[in-house]
């Protein structure tokens, strides 16, 4: 599994990561981005859910398997959904289901102190794990209640210790979500495995965004501060739809060029 070498401090360039939930998007990303994440963010992004707690293992299997069919160059990461790794037995059973069906290079788990034993156990079974710390969305029914972490000394020390313990137990990388700049820098400088940030400053070893946010595909106008639009696909698609509608109404489409003789 040579691609895992990307997740090493010796990999000098910052690591890039984007989400993909379908073969069409994954095909665009493959080889142009270091990591492709089939994230449980598909719950809100694709299914209109208010949080990620309703995402099922069947959803992750279906989207993970679809993405796996077209990804050959980038590293594949898959989220384990909410309530599928509460104990060792379930964690291993569900991890094996996802690994066998989707063949990801790594699984990502949202980790707090109570979940460290799960991380340790899965690593002992030779499973590559990314430890997701900081804001862990699976903990929230209401995303409006999410707050930036690492502002207090207590929070900063807790996250630092969690990152160090995750490394000690064998995590391949740490995903830091919505933590202060100084906390992200402290953690990145204090561990030997890479940090990948989302809302965690440029001091992480890599960055991840939801692809739909990157191209402004979502209709959600209340986006987090860390989201940057690189393309206004929403407007482009809207203009294309209006043009199509007009041509249909005027009977300009389909023209002879688009008809069979």
CATH number of 34's domain = 3.20.20.60
Q: What pLDDT score does 143 carry? A: 87
Rounded CA separation 202/207 (Å): 8
In angstroms, the CA 213 to CA 39 distance is 13
Provide the strand spans (E) within the chain: 15-19, 35-38, 75-79, 106-110, 129-134, 173-177, 195-198, 206-209
Same domain, 19 and 121: yes
Identify whether residues 15 and 30 lie together within a single domain.
yes
CB 234 within 8 A of CB 227: no
Q: CA-to-CA distance for 65 and 99, rounded, in angstroms?
A: 10
- Beta-carbon contacts of 152 under 8 Å, excluding residues fewer than 6 positions away, are none
> What does the pLDDT look like over 160-219, one tens digit per residue?
999 999 999 999 999 999 999 999 999 999 999 999 999 999 999 999 999 999 999 976
pTM of the model: 0.95
Is 247 assigned a catalytic role?
Answer: no
- Same domain flag for 201 and 254: no
Residues 216 and 248 in one domain: no
Residue 48 and residue 90 in one domain: yes
Kindly indicate the confidence band of residue 96, based on its pLDDT and cuts at 50, 70 and 90. Answer: very high
Residue linked to tokens 């979940």: 115
Picking from 161, 158, 197, 154, the residue whose alpha carbon sits closest to that of residue 179 is: 197
Express each pLDDT in 119-158 by its tens digit. 999 999 999 999 999 999 999 999 888 999 999 999 999 9
The pLDDT of 43-50, averaged and rounded, is 94
State the catalytic residue, choosing from 86, 110, 177, 247: 177
Give the pLDDT confidence score for residue 8 in this predicted structure. Answer: 75
Q: What is the pLDDT of residue 3?
A: 61
Is 222 in the same domain as 259? no
Total domains present in the chain: 2
In whole angstroms, what is the distance from residue 42 CA to residue 236 CA?
22
Host domain of residue 216: 2-230
Q: What rounded mean pLDDT belongs to the chain?
A: 95
Please check whether residues 221 and 247 belong to one and the same domain: no
């Amino acid at each position: 599994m040579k691609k895992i070498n990307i997740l090493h401090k010796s990999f000098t360039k910052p690591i890039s990561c984007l989400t993909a939930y379908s073969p069409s998007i994954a095909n665009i990303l493959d080889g142009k981005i270091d990591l492709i994440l089939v994230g449980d963010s598909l719950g809100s992004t694709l299914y209109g859910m208010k949080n990620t707690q309703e995402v099922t293992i069947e959803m992750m299997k279906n989207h993970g398997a679809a993405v796996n069919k077209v990804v050959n160059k980038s590293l594949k990461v898959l989220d384990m959904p909410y309530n599928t790794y509460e104990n060792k037995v379930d964690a291993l059973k569900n991890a094996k289901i996802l690994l066998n069906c989707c063949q990801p290079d790594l699984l990502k788990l949202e980790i707090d102190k109570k979940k460290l034993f799960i991380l340790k156990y899965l690593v002992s079974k030779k499973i590559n794990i990314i430890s997701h710390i900081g804001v862990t969305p699976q903990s929230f029914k209401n995303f409006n209640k999410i707050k930036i972490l690492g502002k207090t000394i207590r929070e900063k020390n807790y996250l630092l210790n969690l990152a160090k313990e995750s490394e000690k137990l064998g995590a391949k990388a740490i995903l830091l979500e919505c933590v202060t700049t100084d906390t992200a820098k402290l953690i990145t400088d204090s561990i030997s495995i890479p940090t990948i940030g989302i809302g965690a400053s440029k001091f992480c070893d890599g960055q991840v965004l939801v692809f739909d946010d990157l191209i402004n595909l979502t209709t959600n106008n209340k986006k987090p501060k860390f989201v940057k639009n690189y393309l206004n696909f929403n407007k482009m698609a809207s203009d294309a739809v209006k043009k199509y509608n007009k041509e249909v109404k005027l009977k300009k489409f389909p023209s002879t060029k688009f008809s069979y003789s």
